[in-house]
Amino acid sequence: MNRIHNLLDQLDKELLSEEPKILKCMKMGRLVAKYYNDTTVLEWINKELNGYVQTDKLLEKSNLPKYRLLTCMLKTPYFEQHPIGWNQALQIKGNRFDKMPDFSFLGSLSQVIDLSKKEIIDFTRDLNGANYTLVINGSEFKNVIMGVTLKLLDYVNEKMESLGNTLEDTCLMNIFNKFHGIAKRLENRYDNRPTIIIENEYDVQDLLNALLYEHFDSIQVEEYGHMYAGKRPRVDFFLRYDEIAIEVKCVRDSNHANRILREEIILDIAYYSKRKEFKHLYFFIYDPKSLLLNRTDFIKDLEENVPENYSSIKIVIKPDL
């Protein structure tokens, strides 16, 4: 807990400094997002650090942060004739600047930083089969850096506030983050002595049960719920003092990961919705072979629609990819 608190404190101070090192901050922010399993934030940080991918279709502006839409001008050459007397004319070459729709800049944050140091930047673009020059002021790239900084600062402040109010969340995430490393260490004991090998959901439950007792009191195992659709479902762990229910899943194979698992979780959410004492519902999904694809969308879809009786639903998939 102290480690993540120190990281957040250090990150907060750096972001509020006179000249924050934004690349360093983003990499620190990535560690925080991984710790809390905040996949949406992690996806945003990775896109900023590596650049946004241009697909076959044009990247819609709605999919880009607003701070990445830059004001630009189209530079086109033109000629003017000025009379110099007695029916003579002088031809003068110049440039005309016309305001264009906002320019979507997809480059990495490192490129943004380099371009922000220039006064004027010219980009050559192919428009309708002809090459045109777009002119962008360097201050536009400074605004991108400011946008990234403010968004990351909002995230850090949110986590620092939650750290002060919900220590149980931090304790749980600490256990979930360490689970895989502990499981692998248990596989190799001195002199080939018998140990626990995580092969199925029951093995995950046994190890998680032992780890939970380090931080929590009154842990009820396999707590039965009310009758629902002819069944009486039971949650794997209930932390009564903290009003937290934990349901454990262990990914069996690719079919289970990408077809069955989602439906299981939807049904579980409905089953446990009858339990008024469940305020926070966690799903700890152990996926040691990384069979679950598109984790970001998987988590986002399941966490978005939270029934009224829950304060929160959290999907945690470990180990990280």
Cα–Cα separations (whole angstroms), residue 204 to 5, 159, 261, 284: 28, 28, 16, 9
Using CA atoms, how far apart are residues 250 and 40, in angstroms rounded to an integer?
23
What is the CB neighbour count within 10 angstroms for residue 70? 20
Q: State the chain's mean pLDDT as an integer.
A: 83
pLDDT of the residue at 144: 96
Give yes or no: residues 179 and 308 share one domain. yes
Which region among 25-39, 93-107, 131-145, 304-318 has the lowest average model confidence (pLDDT)? 93-107
Q: Locate tokens 């090459």: which residue?
A: 131
> 34 and 134 share a domain?
no
Do 184 and 310 belong to one domain? Answer: yes
217 and 132 in one domain?
Answer: no
In a shared domain, residues 24 and 155: yes
Residues 100 and 6 in one domain: no
Q: DSSP code of 118? A: S
Q: What is the pLDDT of residue 250?
A: 96
Helix axes 109-116, 138-165, angle to 10 degrees: 130
Pairing of strands 88-99, 103-104: unpaired
pLDDT in tens, 237-252: 998 888 899 999 999 9
Picking from 299, 314, 312, the residue whose alpha carbon sits closest to that of residue 39 is 299
Do residue 178 and residue 289 come from a single domain?
yes
Report the pLDDT value the prediction gives residue 88, as an integer from 0 to 100.
Answer: 63
201-250 pLDDT, tens digit each: 999 999 999 999 888 877 888 755 555 544 556 889 998 888 899 999 99
- What is the CATH number for 290? 3.40.1350
Range of the domain at 89: 66-142
Same domain, 157 and 203: no
Strand-pair partners of 233: none
Burial class of residue 282 in the structure, from the number of CB atoms within 10 Å of its CB (0-12 exposed, 13-18 middle, 19+ buried):
buried
pLDDT in tens, 126-148: 666 667 778 888 999 999 999 99
Give how many domains the chain has, as a whole number: 3
115 or 161, higher pLDDT: 115
Say if residue 124 is in the same domain as residue 156.
Answer: no
pLDDT per residue over 56-86, tens digit each? 444 555 578 999 999 888 866 655 666 665 6
Q: For 5-39, what is each residue's pLDDT tens digit?
A: 889 999 999 999 989 999 999 999 999 999 888 88
Q: How confident is the model at residue 100 (pLDDT cuts 50, 70, 90)?
A: low
Q: What amino acid occupies position 287? A: D
Same domain for 8 and 116, yes or no, is: no
Q: Are residues 55 and 74 in the same domain?
A: no
pLDDT tens-digit map of 253-288: 999 999 999 999 998 998 888 788 888 899 999 999
Question: Is pTM, for the whole model, over 0.85?
Answer: no
Average pLDDT over residues 48-55: 85
- Which residues, at least 6 apart from 17, have a Cβ–Cβ distance to it below 8 Å? none
Which pLDDT belongs to residue 56? 42
19 and 84 assigned to the same domain: no
